[in-house]
Structure 1
Amino acid sequence: MTNQTQEAKKYDIGEIQGALYGPGIMGLKGAFSREFAAKLGEEINELYAEALQREGGAVGRGPKRHYVEIHPEDISGFVELVTHPWLQTVCESVLGPDYKIVEIGFDVPNPGAVNQPWHRDFPAPDDTTRGRRLNSLAFNMTTVDVEEDMGPFEIAPGTQWDDGSEFEHEMFPPKENYERYEAKAQQKMPKMGDIAVRSALTIHRGTTNHSDKSRPVLVLGVDAPTANNHERHDLQVTKEFYKTLPEDLKRHLHCRLVDELEVIVQGHSIEGLMMGEA
């Protein structure tokens, strides 16, 4: 039995399923070292600066907010991240043994970012609305210690099951729902090294960043075989990098093998976030 297999056995599948099917979010404190998070932060800062110089390199997620999709080999810790036993256990417990990694990127709320409208990241699929199953997960890892004035991520637990058929674009609930979300809202203030997972259908928003610091967070999207979120993304891996990957990881990558990495054309712009909360 490998050390990773032994560590995976520490995690309670019932607790994982209960958290994601109940509140819709859970986290693991200290999953990685602060040094790992700091290195990730340095790499994201460089990638962000490059993306801002390139037309279409960063997609707006509201005033003073951007999302940038990247390549797995853009960050040095990709393999360590996606082979963490907790992450693997969560994916297998909720999405099944044939889960696929379909997206990697990062979100940066800068100083001056305002409250986003309450939203989910995409319309709920039939698996969820009819089958009451979650077929995708989003993992988030902060590269800074989040403080109250930095615009923490805010989520309304349990709302992944809300009927979104009458939402604008099936993603943006009407203003009359806001009072309920605000009554349920939880703000998350993770530290460097922590990792969280959520259903992207759980109603959430980024809040106002009153500080003079940005709050970068890595985003990893994972699908069950029945999901189609890969259609919104373009996960690329060079053939040389692919050769270096563990065999068990290769089968979990929904990627395009290329000789040289190509510039990513962002395929998931969320126009409803551009103006911030009305």
Structure 2
Amino acid sequence: MTTTAALDVPIDTDVISSTIHTDGIIGCKSAFSREWVEQLREDVEVAFEEARSREGGAVGRGPHRYYVEIHPEALRGFVDLVDHPWVRAVCETVLGPDYTIVEVGFDIPFAGAVNQPWHRDFPSPRETLEEKRLTSLAFNVTCVDTAEDMGPFEVAPGTHWDTGEDFEHGMFPPKSAYSRYEELAVRKYPQRGDVSARSALTVHRGTQNHSEKARPVLVLGVDAPGAGNDEKHDLAVTRALWDRLPERVRRHLSCPVVEELTPITQKHTIEGLVMGEA
């Protein structure tokens, strides 16, 4: 990997903690070089073509919108990402020193993708409801420079603390509540090299892609001990990769170490996203 993969960025754990606690999302500008992101985009495009070539390789998240889970080896820059100082600092600050990487994948809204319903990625766990403690994070790395017409990601800051007691399946707020989320909504326009981290409980949606361009975004899922989201994923690494990984990365992977990888059949289907916003 190039020496320009990770760039020096300011790290303030107090700011990380307070921003995630208050907003449920935080971003870091220019964490990676644009050259590194171009390589990431190449890897994502290759992985998408492979996934689309077999049944269950890609799952719909709305019209013209797909999600694909991949193994770390599909990304030449996997270690650069998970060992980036800012990424590590966010994980340790929010989830504690024994966090676990549970998911690597990407989301691609193509031309014609429509507004998703407002949603969170899974129901709020007891630790969040009762202890006000977050047990998971989703990191996003855009593969392109996001423009207004490309269906930007939209998030409602602070909604990670919503109980979700009236959410369908604990994930989808009733349409009667949409006006609140639209009032809170902030659209994000990350550029190549930027990375963000959010609580998977922060209510969000992808918006309509009016352009002719795809907007691929890498997703890295990380858990606090006992969160249990690894059960929804099939992360694995080969022995050859495991032996090359820095110890600092290995201790945050609890996935199987295998001689040969099996292509992933996506398990984390979110039925409420398949049709888009009605």
TM-score class, shorter-chain normalisation, is over 0.9
Residue aligning to 1:75: 75
Gaps of 5+ in 2: 1-6
Root-mean-square deviation over aligned CA pairs: 1.2
Residue aligning to 2:62: 62
Kept after mapping to 2: 8 A contact 1:8/1:86: no
Residue aligning to 2:174: 174
Matches of 2:254 and 2:21 in 1, distance apart?
25
2:199 corresponds to 1:199: yes
Tell me the TM-score normalized by structure 2: 0.96
Deviation at 1:50, TM superposition (A): 1.4
Residue aligning to 2:251: 251
Q: Which moved more, 1:50-59 or 1:213-222?
A: 50-59
Matches of 1:258 and 1:248 in 2, distance apart?
20
Structure 2 SS opposite 1:22: helix
Residue aligning to 1:33: 33
Matches of 1:85 and 1:8 in 2, distance apart?
9
Residue aligning to 1:115: 115
Q: Could you list the per-position Cα deviations for residues 40-79 of structure 1 after superposition, in whole angstroms to 9, with x for gaps in the alignment?
A: 0011011111111111110010000000000001110000
Structure 2 SS opposite 1:102: strand
Deviation at 1:226, TM superposition (A): 2.4
Residue aligning to 2:138: 138
Amino acid at match of 1:145: D
CA 1:74/1:20 → structure 2, altered by over 3 Å: closer, same or farther? same
Aligned residues: 272
Residue aligning to 2:187: 187
Tell me the TM-score normalized by structure 1: 0.96
Structure 2 SS opposite 1:123: coil
CA 1:117/1:162 → structure 2, altered by over 3 Å: closer, same or farther? same
Matches of 2:192 and 2:94 in 1, distance apart?
25
Deviation at 1:265, TM superposition (A): 2.0
Amino acid at match of 1:81: L
Amino acid at match of 2:213: K
Residue aligning to 1:124: 124
Residue aligning to 1:4: none
Matches of 2:96 and 2:224 in 1, distance apart?
7
Amino acid at match of 2:179: E
Matches of 1:154 and 1:31 in 2, distance apart?
21
Matches of 1:256 and 1:128 in 2, distance apart?
28
Following superposition, which runs of at least 4 residues in structure 1 exceed 4 angstroms of deviation?
A: 7-10
Deviation at 1:10, TM superposition (A): 4.5
Matches of 1:9 and 1:174 in 2, distance apart?
40
Deviation at 1:149, TM superposition (A): 0.2
Residue aligning to 1:154: 154
Deviation at 1:110, TM superposition (A): 0.5
Q: Could you list the per-position Cα deviations for residues 95-139 of structure 1 after superposition, in whole angstroms to 9, with x for gaps in the alignment?
A: 000000000000000000000000000011111011110010000
Matches of 1:9 and 1:240 in 2, distance apart?
31
Kept after mapping to 2: 8 A contact 1:230/1:254: no
Gaps of 5+ in 1: 1-6
Residue aligning to 2:261: 261
Deviation at 1:263, TM superposition (A): 1.4
Amino acid at match of 2:200: A
Residue aligning to 1:271: 271
Matches of 2:78 and 2:46 in 1, distance apart?
16
